[in-house]
Structure 1
């Protein structure tokens, strides 16, 4: 359990870099995710395929994993879209709504009774987001896109945990990212028609950051979080990912000086979100101790 939490928080820390990279990379958000998935999928096929670590699975299971990969791809596109329409800090705070959405989505998908403490903690996080944006409406479009991203992010690990009961981490990660790449490839022409890009090819700087994003923030982070899902509930994993905004926002302050544009309400909202995360960690720890 302790190892699972350590790996989970390392994955969260790596995820915190993605917001910074989303602003550093000059590509349209759809193209950014397309390149990210392509580099990640190619890496995984070499890494696991050549070593024989991929399970033989049915076409039905491949289709299921591909669907989950498509949800992950849409989550990333909307996440980077929120950064483009707002800024790194706003997009990352919207991501905190994942706890609230998971508390509702997980019982619906798994057909089980909702856990009242989880719903209350999710509402506490939503209160933190409300405090931040009730006093600042400059980023309305970015906020809406960010909330859609959080909903998609809440669905992803719930479905992923069910697949992990039948398929190993390496196979799921490889097929999910490959499936996400293929499905996004089919949609990309329509997306670019609706949201035109300034340029289609990454420059040298973009290429380097895309490789970092693919290898460290995607391939490695995916494996770390998938391992954690074997031992920790989807809600706890998602709630832990609410620390991603904290890491990402601190980096945004350091790199882009975004703290100059944020008021007292932002810090109060983040404090409430941190409180919710801490309470859930305490709740899980006490339950395991018993």
Structure 2
């Protein structure tokens, strides 16, 4: 197998695992907060073991960097809690598709953080994604579970966009695995006090599923994604990452019997198509 093909296999497995993660919101009959705590705990321990084994330096260069990493951990916790909440009150498809709008938020944040110009194409992209969202959302009635799920999924996308921007601006000089490790540990510590207000009557199967979510769908997925970048271009990686909702929706159909409504599929095609084209144009421009 050639290095490039090996990289393609790695990134598709990584994206497949990321897509599978959303289904745990349906597999686990636990609150989103408990699910995320379990996910970050197992992920943090696994990534720490990998960094220790590889003798990677994890010490931060300054107090400011450490403070930013703490903030990123808080944002990561909010991102995943809102993501799983969106899926639990609606469907896997709605949660994944509305979360996947995050590149649009990134586009509008970049001019503020990096003094980059907002282009006409960016406005068209935002408009197209908005049209896709209106198809995913059945009505503006917030009593509707799908509407609620779309709202929280969009909040999840927004927080992920903030996470991406802050990563790039403040801690981009650190290895990706080190950043992910700090974020998961900080998210775990931030969420811990809230566990005292949650029902923690977990069954053995719950621990097993949380371990799979944290070790395979989080830690291993990140390792494979980062390793793949050694052999393939960033542009190809970004486009492949757009398949996360597709894999997730297919898994939801096969494992949960969730069949998205026709308008959800149409809206999803518009959103994912727009994001893919925008990603291709962005990397061509760079």
Q: TM-score band, normalised by the shorter chain?
A: 0.7 to 0.9
1:176 is displaced (CA, Å) by 1.4
Q: Distance in 2 between matches of 1:241 and 1:116?
A: 24
1:264 is displaced (CA, Å) by 2.2
Q: Distance in 1 between matches of 2:171 and 2:13?
A: 20
Matched with 1:178 is 185
Q: Distance in 1 between matches of 2:171 and 2:207?
A: 32
Query: Compared with structure 1, are the counterparts of its residues 207 and 188 closer, same or farther at alpha carbon in structure 2 (3 Å cutoff)?
Result: closer
CA RMSD of aligned residues (A): 3.0
Match of 1:150 among 147, 157, 160: 157
Matched with 2:15 is 12
Match of 1:267 among 260, 265, 268: 265
Q: Distance in 2 between matches of 1:274 and 1:5?
A: 23
Alignment of 1:37 onto 2:37: no
Matched with 1:251 is 251
Query: Compared with structure 1, are the counterparts of its residues 123 and 217 closer, same or farther at alpha carbon in structure 2 (3 Å cutoff)?
Result: farther
Matched with 1:61 is 65
Q: Quick check: 2:18–2:217 contact (8 Å CA) kept in 1?
A: yes
Query: Compared with structure 1, are the counterparts of its residues 109 and 185 closer, same or farther at alpha carbon in structure 2 (3 Å cutoff)?
Result: farther
Partner SS, residue 174 of structure 2: coil
Q: Quick check: 2:139–2:147 contact (8 Å CA) kept in 1?
A: no
Q: Provide the TM-score with structure 2 as the length reference.
A: 0.83
Gaps of 5+ in 2: none
- CA deviations on 1:103-146 (whole Å, 9 max, x unpaired) are 11232222322243234223312211211214696322222211
Alignment of 1:49 onto 2:52: yes
Q: Quick check: 2:7–2:229 contact (8 Å CA) kept in 1?
A: no
Q: Quick check: 2:136–2:264 contact (8 Å CA) kept in 1?
A: yes
The range that moved more, 63-72 or 165-174, is 165-174
1:187-198 equivalences in 2 (<5 Å): 187-189=194-196, 192=197, 197=198
Gaps of 5+ in 1: none
Q: Distance in 1 between matches of 2:228 and 2:159?
A: 19
- CA deviations on 1:67-115 (whole Å, 9 max, x unpaired) are 1122111100000111121121221121122122121123222232224
Q: Distance in 1 between matches of 2:123 and 2:194?
A: 34
Partner SS, residue 179 of structure 1: helix
The range that moved more, 84-93 or 218-227, is 218-227
**Number of equivalences:** 276
Matched with 1:120 is 124
Q: Provide the TM-score with structure 1 as the length reference.
A: 0.82
Q: Distance in 2 between matches of 1:250 and 1:23?
A: 14
Partner SS, residue 54 of structure 1: coil
Q: Distance in 1 between matches of 2:170 and 2:240?
A: 21
Q: Distance in 2 between matches of 1:126 and 1:247?
A: 22
Alignment of 1:140 onto 2:143: no
Query: Compared with structure 1, are the counterparts of its residues 285 and 45 closer, same or farther at alpha carbon in structure 2 (3 Å cutoff)?
Result: closer
- CA deviations on 1:256-276 (whole Å, 9 max, x unpaired) are 1111xx432122112212321
Q: Distance in 1 between matches of 2:49 and 2:273?
A: 42
Q: Distance in 2 between matches of 1:286 and 1:166?
A: 23
